[in-house]
Structure 1
Amino acid sequence: MADVIADPETDPAATYAVDPARVRALTARVIASGEDGELRTTTPLTGAPLAVLPVSSARDVAVAVDAARVAQQAWALTPVEHRAAVMLRVHDLLLDRQPELLDLVQLESGKARSHAFEEVADCAIVARHYARRAPALLRDTKHVGVLPMLSRAVEHHRPKGVVGIVSPWNYPLTLAVSDTIPALLAGNGVVHRPDSQASLTALAGAEIFAEAGLPDGLLQVVLGPGNPTGQAVVDHADYISFTGSTATGRRVAQSAGRRLVGISLELGGKNTMYVAADANLRRAVDGAVRACFSSAGQLCVSAERLVVHADVYDEFVPRFVERVSRMRLSTGLHWGAEMGSLASAEQKDKVLAHIEDAVSKGARVLTGGRARPDIGPLVVEPTVLEGVTSAMACRDEETFGPLVSVYRVHSDDEAVRLANDTEFGLNASVWTRDVRRGREIAGRIHAGTVNLNEGYAAAWGSVAAPMGGMKSSGLGRRHGREGLMKYTESQNITSQHLVGIAPLAGMSDRAFARGLTAALRVMKAVRMK
């Protein structure tokens, strides 16, 4: 049974309350006519009321997109160095505003404070990285023309216009801010529809952008359900960035396809952590706890399959299970907890259903497996299952909660086959003392990111490199060069000098073809690109 950290606050109602005046200040920037009513949210930490939010109708979303489009025209002409200076101020404000941001993330998502801090740190890292890199990445690029010296090609990077960002509830700050930063730096306006359960955090993020000097109207936040509010963003924006389930991602892709607008999708995962025969087991045990149970497993890149080589299985698994059984659980707004709450009753029900289904079909619970209403109404113990088969839902379906199944394999090849035996391909983790061999194993796993000797944070935090999914885990990438350039249109402007690309006066077509053929052979011989 997991330990409970006592909440130092004596009045839970006061601990989990958000000042109504603060809620009104945050929601004042939302475009909402009131025709679709209002929405009431609760905190998963206690189930207590959290906020009353306005709902943006489809018509309100159209108004928000139009306002962002007007502001974007001037922003696109603003030097990128000025845009970058705004993002560096965002970096500082994120770090300065930690207490409130951590509280809001916890109140809306239920996660432990250390996991809320991951979001603050992530957003600051992204802001700094793109503020430093964007001027060079967006700079006009000269290319060799078809006729060297006579054809001069220049590649320009134009903003898409208005980027629509539709984000889920599990990472309220990261998914509100980290995609907005490169979209704005590229010269776009942004209309963001966060999940209702993540609204206050998203609005606090928008407030930080405004305080950092972002022009009025450029970033719009609209609130409401996926339909009609989220769908309206998809229907009106010039580019769509969506994070969420694979099923919803497919519908977003269909909508965008009908309009021929670009999309990036980060979707579901069924991620594998492989502990090889030569792994450092002490590090692997600690790493597995983080990989499986950070944010209560409500992380698209968390590990739900723990694959262990037979040579170390009987040593690793008991040590891991013992460590998981001692995890510190809490729904308090304080440091020290290793896991918090699930975010909704739906997630709790799904986790418990997966456990019940697996046990009913022969799986064994090595630790956990129970709801913990004594800690919080939506808390489920971190759970480890053994003996999971393809007949059980949790073998192939994404649980998105504190549930991991362990599998014994007898070779690296078998581990790779199991890791790839899924429709998803988002993240994976390989633990071995031989990094060269680990990279070879990682290269055979069909996942957009693979961490060596870390669960997810190494690849996630290395924002200079891309992150995204293969197979049913998505399209496109966030982070890296692509994470910025996807928000741009490349335009080629080529000038031709002295002569045209055609026969000279008096030259026959046949003579022109012979001359160009000879020139092409020379360009190949001198290794011209």
Structure 2
Amino acid sequence: MTESTSQVRSNPAAKGAARGVASAVPAALVARLAKGVTASGGATAETIAPLTGEPLATLPLSSEEDVQRAFDQARRAQPAWAALPVRHRAGVLLRFHDLLLKRQDEVLDLIQAETGKARLHAFEEVMAVASAARHYGRAARSYLRDRRRGGAVPGLTSAVEARRPKGVVGQISPWNYPLELSVGDALPALVAGNAVVNKPDTQTALTALWARELFVEAGLPPQAWQIVLGDGPVVGPQIVERADYVAFTGSTRTGRDVARRAAERLVGASLELGGKNAMLVLADADLDRAAAGAVRACFSSAGQLCISVERLYVHRSVADDFLARFAEKTAALRLGGGLAYGADMGSLVSARQLETVTRHVEQAVKAGATVLAGGRARPDLGPLFHEPTILDGVTPEMAVCAEETFGPVVSVYRFDTEDEAVAAANDTPYGLNSSVWTKDTARGRKVAARLRTGTVNVNEAYAAAYGSVASPMGGMGDSGLGRRHGAEGILRYTEAQTIAVQRLLPIGPSMGLDDRKFAELFTTGLKAMKAFRLK
């Protein structure tokens, strides 16, 4: 492999602290949390601490009978939960919000132990979940309230749109953001009056189990949120076959299967899937700010973030200057573990992720790409560490060009015009997130409007759009269906019901009118409603 021009440094203190990762998650805590799994068959799975490779937890696995039992229990609990006033359910979210912030160190330890990410990136999950809990705790009554709608015949017909819970929502959440992508989807589902059966990834199940325990402490009936564990290809279809609605976050390939299974049952599904997200640095960008933003965009959670950037487009006139700053900031990142603040980037979560990252980098370099920073695994720090890597000279035949790497690797491309940059950024089947950097925010908004992604950040990597929890977040194209956050994020978990009341006269021939006279009368009425601009 070609030597990097900039080698990323490690954090010796964080490396030493990593040795005690598993011991920071006591066996008593694991045993207590494991009781929250709906499982009875005796089968178990062992998880590891990615920072060190040492065993972390042994957790029970759910059989098909256990999954059915979880849904049965959830269905029994759901009507009573839905019958409570919205303000009562919202109060549970607000109490959960307070408990989460008060006891965040507990879950930060769990997130780091299970994923290997840096503590700052674990805290991003706490921020995201607390923000969503506060938002839906305050806004749920407005989202779910009955709304008067125009009736068929003004003065004679009144109509109300009501929102009813789906019933039992099946949620399948991944390993990369175990708090945000389990709790973040559960919050609106629960406050809308649903029960939830959640299958988190087994590797990161302790985090979800901890959050459920905290929710129960905040006032949620224990049976209203069930957690089952098992292999995704086995347990996942069992959830889709039983749920009244499915919320899935994961790969595009698996998402297509979930969509097919849900469609066969005529139940709804929301899918947040893969991405090959782009960042555009325009000629007038603040280069220091953009370089710092690129570090966050590309290397947060070691690039294991659905909305992180893997393609970087830079205007040719500023490319060399920008890349020098970006490479310098990347090389200055401190790699390390340990359950404390201080490291700028942690490790990958699994050998599979490390293999993909290593393969993409090595293939690209062998085919002629240049490593501007990073470029190699770091087994001296831990079994799954890889340096944050910048690749220049990437061409279409390289796997890293179009395939999702889902690791700390970004490819750099130069452009001459905005049209060229927009076309290149949109030249992907994915459409999840993108980022535009310019000193002219009006110009940034215009460029953003041309990008085919569900969220676009101007002068920020991803947090501005994702953190705006009153606004929808999701993907276009192969990046999925539906949205989390905002109105759509909660209304997806409801059924719309129209209740219309007719007064005095029926909508049909009456009072001696025959069919022809009725049709003539209503024709006159329809013309009048248009003339008077009635909706």
TM range (shorter): over 0.9
Alignment partner, residue 142 of structure 1: 148
**Residues 21, 49 of structure 2: 8 Å contact kept:** no
> Would you say 1:29 and 2:19 are equivalent positions?
no
* Separation of aligned partners in 2, 1:247 and 1:419: 22
C-alpha distance after superposition, 1:287-317 (max 9, x if no partner): 0000000000000000000100112112101
> Would you say 1:56 and 2:62 are equivalent positions?
yes
**Residues 132, 469 of structure 2: 8 Å contact kept:** yes
Q: Identity percentage over the alignment?
A: 58
Find 1:219's aligned residue among 207, 210, 225: 225
Alignment partner, residue 367 of structure 2: 361
Alignment partner, residue 272 of structure 2: 266
1:83-482, aligned counterparts within 5 Å? 83-482=89-488
Provide the secondary structure at the position in 2 that maps to 1:265.
strand
Find 2:496's aligned residue among 487, 490, 515: 490
Provide the secondary structure at the position in 2 that maps to 1:307.
strand
* Separation of aligned partners in 2, 1:99 and 1:137: 32
> Would you say 1:65 and 2:68 are equivalent positions?
no
| CA shift in 2, pair 1:12/1:276, >3 Å | closer
* Separation of aligned partners in 2, 1:10 and 1:465: 42
**Residues 9, 15 of structure 1: 8 Å contact kept:** no
**Residues 21, 52 of structure 2: 8 Å contact kept:** no
Task: State the AA in 1 paired with 2:56.
Answer: L
Find 1:20's aligned residue among 16, 27, 38: 27
**Deviation (angstroms), 1:7:** 3.0
* Separation of aligned partners in 2, 1:22 and 1:438: 48
* Separation of aligned partners in 1, 2:21 and 2:293: 32
* Separation of aligned partners in 1, 2:197 and 2:229: 10
* Separation of aligned partners in 2, 1:365 and 1:385: 5
* Separation of aligned partners in 1, 2:16 and 2:464: 38
Provide the secondary structure at the position in 2 that maps to 1:178.
helix
* Separation of aligned partners in 2, 1:484 and 1:258: 24
**Residues 298, 409 of structure 2: 8 Å contact kept:** yes
* Separation of aligned partners in 2, 1:441 and 1:240: 34
* Separation of aligned partners in 2, 1:161 and 1:7: 49
* Separation of aligned partners in 1, 2:131 and 2:340: 23
* Separation of aligned partners in 2, 1:268 and 1:397: 10
**Deviation (angstroms), 1:143:** 0.8
Task: State the AA in 1 paired with 2:381.
Answer: I
Provide the secondary structure at the position in 1 that maps to 2:241.
helix
**Deviation (angstroms), 1:257:** 0.8
* Separation of aligned partners in 2, 1:418 and 1:295: 26
* Separation of aligned partners in 2, 1:421 and 1:74: 49
Structure 2 length-normalised TM: 0.97
| CA shift in 2, pair 1:286/1:51, >3 Å | same
**Deviation (angstroms), 1:13:** 4.8
Task: State the AA in 2 paired with 1:32.
Answer: A
**Residues 21, 51 of structure 2: 8 Å contact kept:** no
| CA shift in 2, pair 1:339/1:10, >3 Å | closer
Task: State the AA in 2 paired with 1:247.
Answer: R
**Residues 162, 498 of structure 2: 8 Å contact kept:** yes
Task: State the AA in 2 paired with 1:33.
Answer: S
Provide the secondary structure at the position in 1 that maps to 2:472.
coil
Of residues 172-181 and 3-12 in structure 1, the stretch that sits farther from structure 2 once superposed is 3-12
* Separation of aligned partners in 1, 2:333 and 2:355: 22
Of residues 299-308 and 318-327 in structure 1, the stretch that sits farther from structure 2 once superposed is 318-327
* Separation of aligned partners in 2, 1:234 and 1:331: 37
C-alpha distance after superposition, 1:41-79 (max 9, x if no partner): 101000000000000011101100110110001011100
C-alpha distance after superposition, 1:479-510 (max 9, x if no partner): 01000000000001111110000122321222
**Deviation (angstroms), 1:227:** 2.7
| Count of residues in Structure 1 that have an aligned counterpart in Structure 2 | 528
* Separation of aligned partners in 2, 1:224 and 1:405: 35
The gaps in structure 2 that reach 5 residues or longer are 1-6
Task: State the AA in 1 paired with 2:41.
Answer: G
* Separation of aligned partners in 2, 1:66 and 1:248: 26
| CA shift in 2, pair 1:257/1:521, >3 Å | same
* Separation of aligned partners in 2, 1:448 and 1:8: 37
* Separation of aligned partners in 1, 2:504 and 2:198: 49
Task: State the AA in 2 paired with 1:454.
Answer: E
Of residues 49-58 and 311-320 in structure 1, the stretch that sits farther from structure 2 once superposed is 311-320
C-alpha distance after superposition, 1:215-261 (max 9, x if no partner): 12000011111132222111111100000000000000011111111
* Separation of aligned partners in 2, 1:415 and 1:350: 27
C-alpha distance after superposition, 1:294-351 (max 9, x if no partner): 0000000000001001121121011111111111111111112111000000000000
Structure 1 length-normalised TM: 0.98
**Residues 141, 156 of structure 1: 8 Å contact kept:** yes
